Structure 1
Amino acid sequence: MAGSSRPLWVAFALLLVSCILFMTLNVKGDWDFVLHLRLTKLAALLMVAYAVGVSTQLFQTLTNNPILTPSILGFDSLYVFLQTLLVFTFGGVGYASLPLTGKFGFELVVMMGGSLLLFYTLIKQGGRDLPRMILIGVIFGILFRSLSSLLSRMIDPEEFTAAQANMFAGFNTVHSELLGIGALILLVSAAVVWRERYRLDVHLLGRDQAINLGISYTRNTLWILLWIAALVATATAVVGPVSFFGLLAASLANHFSPSVKHSVRLPMTVCVGGILLVGGQTVFEHFLGMKAVLSVVVEFAGGLVFLYLVLRHKK
């Protein structure tokens, strides 16, 4: 047991070291001000590491596919469409004056409502038609991207910059006002997911085996999918849409994890995601002088991992 948990403890130790370096490296001037500023950014990075990493791991469990991520259902595209629609409706000044908590509540309700409509396909088929639901999600993702592009062309060029700023992930521009409500959502989700960890282990055996072992497959799948939507909505509201970071964190966690049990893999995914974001941000800020953007590097690395997984499964 001790040997099987050793990689997890190593990952946790590396995450702790990354956090300490991020908080204390090159601190000059007022410590209270600097630590408060860095603590806010650190909290956001850890929240994103948890939300994106866990949602990806859960989605891969439900689909039994290590390549798929929640972004394939069009959640990120829906988020960008909502931002563009708000700018188109209220204008750049009106959009900027909207309260962040109100926008977050609106986005969360719409994304959860869209998830329910999408998951209705799964309900009708008794939980059998997950591939069709994924295909519908892909189609809606393309639709939302097309609508966002159309609205962007109809928006005044000066106001378009307000919408464009929310189309890409930004780990340097954290919406700190959302950290409190985001942390509350993540804490509740952590309690729910941890309680479901044994059922999630059974899900890895497949639908038929899970039902034979007494799992209410359809209800449990819908319940987990709703929390996946909530986690994705929270992460995108805090830093913006990310596509491949979850795949990168989950793939590395699966590679280094000594067990397929979710009681090990989920914490490992959070630790790996935290190391990538916190450690990466530390390197870019204090060693590279912010000459590169962390989100671009992370997404590029995640894209390479995606291509590797596709080619490996093709063989």
Structure 2
Amino acid sequence: MAERRLVPLALLLALGCAAFLLWNLHAPMGFILSLRATKLAALVVVGAASGAATVLFQTVAGNRLITPGIVGFDALFVFLQTMLVLALGSAGYATLPTLPAFLIETACLAGAGVALFGLLLRRGAGDLIRLVLSGLILGVMLRGLSGFAQRLLEPSEFAVVQQASFASFGAVDRAQLALAGPLLALALLIAWRLSSRLDLALLGRDKAITLGLDFDRLLLGVLALIAVMVAVSTALVGPVAFLGLLAAALAHALLGHPRHAALLPAAAGLGALILVAGQFLFERLLGFESTLAVIVEFLGGLVFLALVLRKAAR
């Protein structure tokens, strides 16, 4: 059975986590393990949430070429960081309490996602193309506003915005992680419990309703889960738009079937494995600090192009 392929994936992830924690460990061991464990937990929960959220989004959209990042979450995050630095200055931004700032950013991102999804639902559950197009336009608009605002910043303030605009796992706040971790784990559990309904949703709205599925209600719940997963992950470490697409594509290739009871754990595990293995490679073996997000975006972009070209060739 294809589900058996989850076992070696779980073993690889466990091995990667152990290597990340214990490789070249030296005194003071307790302090170093504490720092590594915090970073590792952030890598795992963000990777898992990104992979699962992308599978959910592709299921309700009926399209394996899209990802939640396409609806403008990353652009909104950058816009929020730019406005905060513009309003408070680099010194004021640096002194913001981390937990309230995290909660505000999460609320803004999740609220924007739910509002956009709510417009979709008022027009009917089948209007997902308009959702994607609206998200693209929103992203372009926010990037334009962010670019204009960044021209008003001092060079030192612009550097702060640039640093905050890319995903970083090196300075994850433990208080934020203590809140984000359980929330993302709960969202993943709820998504997995919906697996059988998601399998029916793949048949299309009309067929699913004929089989007794409340498609519109399921769509509302799934889109809310996606908004929460992406908002919390982005507010915790920053945007990694193509990570979920990379994990979802690898999960489909690994399993060879669309059953969500296995597909969701596979995408979550692969998302976590990509981040853990990548961070281990660049940080422990190569000594780099900020390369991982760039590499993941590059590989995810290549996967996106490959999927588009393969579909166009059919």
* Both proteins in one fold, TM over 0.5: yes
With structure 1 as the length reference, what TM-score do the two structures score?
0.95
Cα distance in 2 for residues equivalent to 1:244 and 1:187: 21
The match for 1:65 is 63
Please say if residues 45 and 185 of structure 2, whose CA atoms lie closer than 8 Å, have aligned partners that are also in contact: no
Cα distance in 2 for residues equivalent to 1:287 and 1:160: 31
**Do structure 1's residue 221 and structure 2's residue 219 form an aligned pair?**
yes
Cα distance in 1 for residues equivalent to 2:211 and 2:119: 24
**Do structure 1's residue 5 and structure 2's residue 12 form an aligned pair?**
no
Q: Deviations over 1:64-107 (max 9, x none)?
A: 11110001110111111111111111221111111121112111
The match for 1:241 is 239
The match for 2:260 is 262
- The aligned runs of 1:114-133 (5 Å cut-off) are 114-133=112-131
Q: Deviations over 1:99-142 (max 9, x none)?
A: 12111211122222212321233222221211111111110011
Displacement of 1:169 after TM fit? Answer: 1.2
Structure 2 vs 1, CA of residues 139 and 199 (structure 1 numbering), >3 Å: closer, same or farther?
same
Displacement of 1:18 after TM fit? Answer: 0.6
Cα distance in 2 for residues equivalent to 1:142 and 1:16: 39
The match for 1:182 is 180
Displacement of 1:175 after TM fit? Answer: 3.2
- SS of 1:171's equivalent in the other structure is coil
Which of 137, 142, 145 lines up with 1:144 in the alignment? 142
Q: Deviations over 1:140-172 (max 9, x none)?
A: 011111111111111222222222111111233
With structure 2 as the length reference, what TM-score do the two structures score?
0.95
Please say if residues 175 and 239 of structure 1, whose CA atoms lie closer than 8 Å, have aligned partners that are also in contact: no
Please provide the CA RMSD for this pair.
Answer: 1.5
Task: Give the AA of the match of 2:56.
Answer: L
The match for 1:55 is 53
Cα distance in 1 for residues equivalent to 2:217 and 2:141: 28
Displacement of 1:173 after TM fit? Answer: 3.2
- The aligned runs of 1:32-43 (5 Å cut-off) are 32-43=30-41
Task: Give the AA of the match of 1:89.
Answer: A
Deviating more after overlay: 80-89 vs 213-222? 213-222
Displacement of 1:276 after TM fit? Answer: 1.2
Cα distance in 1 for residues equivalent to 2:185 and 2:69: 22
Gaps of 5+ in 1: none
Cα distance in 1 for residues equivalent to 2:112 and 2:286: 41
The match for 2:27 is 29
Structure 2 vs 1, CA of residues 292 and 118 (structure 1 numbering), >3 Å: closer, same or farther?
closer
How high is the sequence identity, in percent, across the aligned residues?
43
**Do structure 1's residue 109 and structure 2's residue 84 form an aligned pair?**
no
Task: Give the AA of the match of 1:99.
Answer: P
Displacement of 1:285 after TM fit? Answer: 2.3
- SS of 2:151's equivalent in the other structure is helix
Structure 2 vs 1, CA of residues 282 and 116 (structure 1 numbering), >3 Å: closer, same or farther?
closer
Instruction: Tell me the matched-pair count.
Output: 313
Gaps of 5+ in 2: none
**Do structure 1's residue 210 and structure 2's residue 201 form an aligned pair?**
no
Displacement of 1:258 after TM fit? Answer: 4.4
The match for 1:195 is 193
Task: Give the AA of the match of 1:121.
Answer: L
Deviating more after overlay: 181-190 vs 241-250? 181-190
Please say if residues 55 and 248 of structure 2, whose CA atoms lie closer than 8 Å, have aligned partners that are also in contact: yes
The match for 2:165 is 167
- SS of 2:2's equivalent in the other structure is coil
Cα distance in 2 for residues equivalent to 1:184 and 1:118: 25
Which of 73, 79, 83 lines up with 1:81 in the alignment? 79
Deviating more after overlay: 245-254 vs 100-109? 100-109
State the 4+ residue runs in structure 1 displaced beyond 4 angstroms. none
Structure 2 vs 1, CA of residues 292 and 107 (structure 1 numbering), >3 Å: closer, same or farther?
closer
Displacement of 1:259 after TM fit? Answer: 3.3
Task: Give the AA of the match of 1:244.
Answer: F
Displacement of 1:306 after TM fit? Answer: 0.7
Please say if residues 100 and 178 of structure 1, whose CA atoms lie closer than 8 Å, have aligned partners that are also in contact: yes
Displacement of 1:184 after TM fit? Answer: 2.1
Task: Give the AA of the match of 2:307.
Answer: L
Cα distance in 2 for residues equivalent to 1:243 and 1:112: 16
